[in-house]
Amino acid sequence: MILAPSILSADFGILAEQIKKCEKAGATWLHIDVMDGHFVPNISFAMPVIKSIRKYTDMFFDVHLMITEPERYINDFIDCGADGVTFHVEATDFADRCIEMIRSRGKLAGISLNPNTPVNAIIPYIEKVDMALVMSVEPGYGGQKYIDSVNRKIKYLREIKGDYFKIEVDGGITADNIDTAIDAGANIIVAGTSVFKGDIEENIKRLTR
Ligand code: DX5
Ligand code: ZN
């Protein structure tokens, strides 16, 4: 299991310091949420922030694009330091092109779906991507409650894709429910609030125990 702390819930005034703490506690992935105020109601941050933090760590930058027409920006996000780029199936008419753009640059390609999007929406692309990101909250904000019904989608994807495929779950993960997501078949776990609220190193230890 890989834990991917989501910096959306970090203190941006001391972001580099907080990332170092994640690294020290053993995290190898960093989940980076990009929001455009269009595909989702919220706006977060984009290239300048990613480029800045790239200097401070070699962690895997797992960039989650919650933006309309991701094909317009994929190359820019790779240029500023993304190791993996995940886009939403709902956000583009050109999913195949997005996958090709990411993979042609040697990066990990992920496809994501919202809680209300049926898993069938990503099936046409599932053989072409490296990872499926199953949203377990409505995208846009940290600190929401995990939607249990998404476990069915995770189980289904695990069944059809076998043991080694990357299935990431994102939203509402806590020390109390992390096991249900893992039992369903998720092997990459995003956690924002439950990592950054309080003591980062202790929180990561509790989540990865
Ligand atoms: C939500 C983002 C998540 C968010 C998770 O739209 O995609 O990555 O940071 O935050 P928590 O873990 O607090 O639900
Ligand atoms: Zn995310």
Q: Which of 29, 189, 193, 200 to mutate to test the pocket of ligand 1 (most atoms within 8 A of CB)?
A: 193
Tell how far the Cα of 84 is from the centroid of ligand 2, in angstroms. 12
The pair phi, psi for residue 93, each rounded to 5°, is: -95, 0
Q: What structural domains does the chain harbor? A: 2-207 (3.20.20.70)
From first to last of its 209 residues, the chain has per-residue pLDDT tens of: 999 999 999 999 999 999 999 999 999 999 999 999 999 999 999 999 999 999 999 999 999 999 999 999 999 999 999 999 999 999 999 999 999 999 999 999 999 999 999 999 999 999 999 999 999 999 999 999 999 999 999 999 999 999 999 999 999 999 999 999 999 999 999 999 999 999 999 999 999 99
The residues carrying an active-site annotation are: 33, 170
4: nearest Cα among 185, 183, 199, 166: 166
Q: Pull the structure tokens for residue 17.
A: 């310091």
List, edge to edge, every strand of the sheet that includes 131-135: 2-5, 188-191, 166-170, 131-135, 108-113, 84-88, 60-66, 29-35
Q: Which of 137, 138, 203, 207 to mutate to test the pocket of ligand 1 (most atoms within 8 A of CB)?
A: 137
Q: Pull the structure tokens for residue 81.
A: 């330091």
pTM as predicted: 0.98
